[in-house]
């Protein structure tokens, strides 16, 4: 059965045309934008990425902190993937993506960490503990004001492993260490996000461009083309989960959802009630006033 054409059919056709067009766009090789130098004492943001490409997928807020709050963003490559033959090529792609966004890059090991997952944590403590110490060392070295890492139910075993790696590393630093924690989602939705961050068309275009430098991955699965649609759906979810059930939807087109807390006294602290929306006209610097404690 063919329905009579309505404006909504043309709307869906336009989406399908854009998706087909996106799959044919060039990958990587774009000139890097100019990044104004940061002061040596700029506050630091650490992104603990389970895989190369996560810095682009969940990096909307980090990019705004770099550009609008003049914070130094360091992407920590926790792993370089599980395929040994792809690890060094993925690292090369990651360097290009980070350079495009203006992110610094830190490695946990020349080929990244291996077997970062909840099973290793529970069954192989002798393998797990040295990885915890590496992450704790990075936290001590950089003294970040903000850290990004996946929430505990982000489905992918490495994403969940990175969550627990951070929890154990933070715990090992003692009760005097504190920072803002921003938990991310991609494979598995977070049930209780409390921060929705809007991206401008320019910022999202830059995230997609940087993601295209991960050529080997997006050739296998062109998930970069779906990122705008994912961000559109985040606005739908965030309107209720962050804004409150039955509330008016915010006037956003593209957004990313996060769970924002603080690590204080050796534990997570949810230091405000309800949720926060950060629109493109709002200052991200206001979210993270006050530096880390060590």
The CATH number that applies at residue 268 is: 3.40.50.10320
- For the chain, residues with pLDDT lower than 70 are 1, 290-294
Is 147 in contact with 160 (CB distance < 8 Å)? no
Q: How many domains does the chain have?
A: 1
Any residues with CB less than 8 A from the CB of 229 and at least 6 apart, and which? 15
Position 163 in a domain: yes
Position 268 in a domain: yes
Please tell me the pTM assigned to this model: 0.96
Position 175 in a domain: yes
Q: CA 164 to CA 169: how far, in whole Å?
A: 8
Query: Closest Cα to residue 60, out of 265, 199, 179, 191?
Result: 199
Q: CA 104 to CA 140: how far, in whole Å?
A: 17
Position 200 in a domain: yes
Q: Which helix (H) or strand (E) holds 141?
A: helix 125-142
Q: CA 237 to CA 252: how far, in whole Å?
A: 12
Domain range spanning residue 83? 42-285
Position 290 in a domain: no
Position 3 in a domain: no
Position 1 in a domain: no
What is the Cβ-side half-sphere exposure of residue 61, based on CA atoms within 13 angstroms? Answer: 29
Position 183 in a domain: yes
Q: CA 118 to CA 163: how far, in whole Å?
A: 9
Query: Closest Cα to residue 164, out of 114, 122, 109, 107?
Result: 122
Q: How much is the pLDDT for 290? A: 58
């Amino acid at each position: 059965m063919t329905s009579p054409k309505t404006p909504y059919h043309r709307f869906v056709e336009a989406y399908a045309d854009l998706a087909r067009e996106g799959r044919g766009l060039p990958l990587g090789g774009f000139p890097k934008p100019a990044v104004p130098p940061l002061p040596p004492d700029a506050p630091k943001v650490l992104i603990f990425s389970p895989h190369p490409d996560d810095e682009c997928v969940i990096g909307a807020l980090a990019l705004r902190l770099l550009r609008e709050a003049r914070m130094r963003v360091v992407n920590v490559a926790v792993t370089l993937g599980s395929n040994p033959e792809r690890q060094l090529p993925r690292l090369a792609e990651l360097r290009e993506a980070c350079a495009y966004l203006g992110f610094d890059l830190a490695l946990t090991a020349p080929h990244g960490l291996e077997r970062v997952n909840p099973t290793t944590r529970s069954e192989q403590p002798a393998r797990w503990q040295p990885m915890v110490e590496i992450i704790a060392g990075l936290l001590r070295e950089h003294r970040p004001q903000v850290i990004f890492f996946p929430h505990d139910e982000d489905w992918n075993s490495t994403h969940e492993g990175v969550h627990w790696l951070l929890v154990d590393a933070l715990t090992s630093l003692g009760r005097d260490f504190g920072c803002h924690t921003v938990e991310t989602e991609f494979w598995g939705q977070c049930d209780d996000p409390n921060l929705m961050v809007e991206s401008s068309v320019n910022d999202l275009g830059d995230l997609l461009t940087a993601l295209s430098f991960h050529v080997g991955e997006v050739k296998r699965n062109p998930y970069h083309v779906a990122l705008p649609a994912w961000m559109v759906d985040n606005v739908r979810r965030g309107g209720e989960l962050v804004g409150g059930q039955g509330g008016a939807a915010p006037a956003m087109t593209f957004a990313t959802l996060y769970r924002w807390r603080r690590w204080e006294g050796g534990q997570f602290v949810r230091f405000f009630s309800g949720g926060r929306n950060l629109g493109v006209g709002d200052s991200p610097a206001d979210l993270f006033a006050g530096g880390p404690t060590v």
